[in-house]
């Protein structure tokens, strides 16, 4: 049953990408899933493609890789300083992390029967990355904090202006790329679209900015107000003096 379903998927991929000769890694059955030891060091270092395909099998994940991506992954090598033992529970995270390190990201399947798609962050299919981002709630951010998949979250701000906050975060995304922060003025919210760890870090940063005013803030506000009041008083006094000077004795 499983075989026939996978064959159908492979066939679908071949239909969808007739010229791309996509690779499809067949996942291992869940019963076979166990800790995985990755050896890739020195002269024995393996290509990124080989490492990703091994990890994908161990992670029980079917992956579709286009011809262009495949060529790029075959050129680069994964060099580790020693054998890496990956616990079964962390194989998926390790797979996504290694792919992202080399400039690739996994797009989740659009339906359960389809494989995950590995996309080059700088390739032709990069537009898909943001459009297929998972929309997550604020409560789900921690669950994605170590997952290299594209997610999008909307944060409502309580005390600070979303437009000003988004402007202050802009320098952190110098390339006009996939990850970004957009202000939604109507609801004073920020939409953050990035990979899980970046979203988690930015959320913590924004929460730190969107805080209750402290005693120092209140003192500073009081000082600003006093300076403004004194300046207004000086202007009024000067006006009176001028008026008085103009009066005939």
**Closer residue to another protein, CB minimum distance, 6 or 191:** 191
**Closer residue to another protein, CB minimum distance, 13 or 40:** 40
CB of 162 to another protein, least distance (A): 11
CB of 64 to another protein, least distance (A): 22
CB of 137 to another protein, least distance (A): 20
CB of 87 to another protein, least distance (A): 8
**Closer residue to another protein, CB minimum distance, 112 or 242:** 242
Query: Distance of CA 70 to CAs 22, 64, 235, Å?
Result: 8, 10, 73
CB of 135 to another protein, least distance (A): 19
With residue 118 as reference, give the H or E element that holds it: strand 116-120
**Closer residue to another protein, CB minimum distance, 63 or 178:** 178
Q: With b meaning 16 or more CB within 10 Å and e meaning fewer, what string describes 12-29?
A: ebeeeeeebebbbbbbee
Rounded to whole angstroms, how far apart are CA atoms 189 and 222?
28
Residues whose CB falls within 8 Å of the CB of residue 129, separated by 6 or more in sequence, listed in order: 105, 107, 119, 121, 150, 178
**Spatial contact of 26 and 6, defined as CB atoms under 8 Å apart:** yes
Which residues contribute to the site for another protein (CB under 8 A)? 76, 78-84, 86-87, 90, 93-94, 97-98, 100-101, 103, 121, 146, 148, 160-161, 164-165, 167-175, 177-179, 194-195, 197-198, 201-202, 204-205, 208-209, 211, 214, 216-217, 219-220, 223-224, 226-227, 230-231, 233-234, 236-238, 240-241, 244
**Closer residue to another protein, CB minimum distance, 71 or 170:** 170
The token pair at 104 is: 């690739």
Query: Residue 112 gets which letter from DSSP?
Result: T
Q: Which among 22, 96, 34, 30 is positioned nearest to 66, based on CA atoms?
A: 22
**Closer residue to another protein, CB minimum distance, 14 or 87:** 87
CB of 204 to another protein, least distance (A): 4
């Amino acid at each position: 049953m499983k075989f026939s379903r996978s064959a159908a998927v492979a066939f679908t991929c071949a239909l969808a990408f007739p010229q791309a000769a996509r690779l499809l890694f067949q996942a291992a059955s869940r019963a076979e899933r166990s800790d995985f030891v990755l050896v890739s060091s020195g002269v024995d270092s393996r290509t990124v493609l080989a490492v990703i395909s091994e990890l994908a099998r161990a992670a029980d994940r079917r992956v579709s890789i286009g011809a262009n991506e495949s060529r790029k992954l075959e050129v680069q090598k994964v060099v580790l300083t020693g054998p890496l033992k990956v616990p079964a529970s962390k194989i998926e995270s390790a797979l996504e992390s290694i792919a992202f390190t080399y400039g690739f990201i996994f797009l989740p399947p659009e339906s359960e029967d389809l494989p995950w798609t590995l996309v080059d962050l700088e390739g032709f299919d990069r537009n898909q990355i943001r459009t297929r981002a998972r929309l997550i709630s604020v409560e789900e951010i921690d669950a994605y904090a170590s997952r290299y998949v594209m997610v999008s979250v909307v944060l409502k701000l309580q005390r600070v202006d979303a437009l000003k906050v988004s402007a202050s975060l802009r320098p952190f995304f110098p390339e006009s790329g996939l990850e970004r922060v957009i202000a939604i003025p109507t609801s004073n919210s920020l939409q953050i679209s990035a990979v899980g760890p970046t979203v988690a870090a930015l959320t913590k940063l924004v929460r730190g900015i969107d805080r209750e005013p402290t005693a120092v803030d209140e003192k500073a506000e009081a000082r600003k107000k006093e300076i403004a009041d004194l300046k207004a008083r000086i202007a009024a006094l000067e006006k009176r003096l001028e008026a008085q000077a103009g009066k005939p004795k």
